[in-house]
Amino acid sequence: MIPVVGFANQKVAILGLGRSGLSAARALRAGGAQVLCWDDNALARVAAEAEDFEVRDLGRDGALDGVASLIVSPGIPHLYPNPNKTITISQQLGIPVDNDIGLFFRSFATSGWEAFETPPRVIAVTGSNGKSTTSALIHHILLEAGRTSQLAGNIGRGVLDIDPPENGGVVVLELSSYQTELARALTPDIAVFTNLTPDHLDRHGGLGGYFAAKRRLFAEGGPDRAVIGVDEPEGQFLAGQLSEGPGDDRVIRVSSGTKLTGPGWQVFARKGFLAEYRKGRQAGSIDLRKIKGLPGAHNHQNACAAYAACRSLGLAPGVIEAALHSYPGLPHRSQVIAEAGGVTYINDSKATNVDSALKALMAFDRVRWICGGLEKEGGLSALAPALDRVAKAYVIGREAAGFAVQLDGVEAEVCTTMESAVGQAINDAQPGETVLLAPAAASFDQYDNFEQRGDDFTRLVRAALGSGQ
């Protein structure tokens, strides 16, 4: 645990008692704060009471009297589309609003670090797509290289649940826009921006607000080094803002598909090969094509970002390359779950938006595509470049018929349920094809989350194949 500093003998209120909320409550109490908790979910309140936290409806008159700070869980809106009542009251009273990420950064470094030969470092990863894989990949590379590493934030453990760092230890954080937009302290040593595509637009008041939430990690944090994906205009803009000139190697530009040139520091992938250039000279090269855990151009972008972050820590290209080959992949993200009869079965349930589904489809030549769910804003037209790879679509979800009619030029079967879709896809699949779950939609019409959806797909495939894989 990382005890929170600066609130000893003060009242701190926690709004939202999910994983991050309870973790923050424990860390605040460990730092000497008096903690008040609230969640609209009765079961969450019972869990807090079981740990002897004071539970108080923070929306009632006078509930925030004497409170020094309000700590908010990521899913609770503070501005758009409509701010939570308790947050509005807090702001009217002048009470600072923060989250567990802000508490972490204000509390992570301690006086005990003076005894360390090598200070601990924090790598923070954000972006629309690929941040989980990039974070997990950095963590994996560090462990394979014999470095002490902890993975936390939006993946792995809660940030305040991690162990106090050791000499030379590295903490790798995946941070969502919900986390970066509100944190009052953001001070990573290395910050990574993977890419930007439209997502969570209602929460951020549009694409500009969404980018602004991501940008805070760099503008507020002032990292020693920034790894920036420049395949979109927003990444190019961010890299330009952070750089003092073409040769400023505090910014490492990353691309998948475009050769980057100039006197600075670049890492890019083209035709399956990663290349590193620094001061106009090639410093490293890796063949990514046979790395099973990183299929497709989108994963090659993730590999470039992770490579750049690890090179910033001084790891040699050969060490990173060896670790890439042993990377097993993350569940629900281009995860190979079975191979039978010449057919490969891929679980990419995390492809919850059109852009991530497009990238998943582009990674394979001939696809039996299981898709559908709770459709997001913008429609499906952006999938057009990959639809020629689809042998047939098997559409699930309550609105499966409406989803299917948008797939112009693709044979689509309205299956509605995952069980039906898996059965039909397995029956139709031919050797050399891929059965791919990449829904291009949220899961909430049929599942609690994308993990549950991916687990259902995996269970049904393995059961149908008679496999315990």
How many Cα neighbours within 13 Å face the side chain of 215? 17
**What single letter denotes the amino acid at residue 63?**
A
Other Cβ atoms less than 10 A from the Cβ of 293: the count is 21
Signed CA dihedral, 351, 352, 354, 356: sign only? negative
CB atoms within 10 A of CB 87: 21
Annotated ligand binding at 350? The verdict is: no
Number of Cβ within 10 Å of residue 111's Cβ equals 6
Tokens standing for residue 372: 């559908």
Q: Is 381 annotated as a binding residue?
A: no
Contacts 24+ apart (CB under 8 A), 58-62: 58/13, 58/15, 58/86, 59/85, 59/86, 59/89
The count of C-alpha atoms lying within 13 angstroms of the C-alpha of 78, restricted to the half-sphere facing its C-beta, is 23
Residue 326 counted as an annotated binding residue: no
3-state secondary structure of 289: coil
356 annotated as a binding-site residue: no
Sign of the CA dihedral with 111 first, then 224, 210, and 200 last: negative
Token representation of residue 296: 């497709």
Q: Which residues contact 455 (CB under 8 A, 6 or more apart)?
A: none
Helix (H) or strand (E) holding 179: helix 177-180
Q: How far apart are CA 106 and CA 166, in angstroms?
A: 18
* 135 annotated ligand-binding residue: no
Annotated binding residues for ATP, as ranges? 127-133
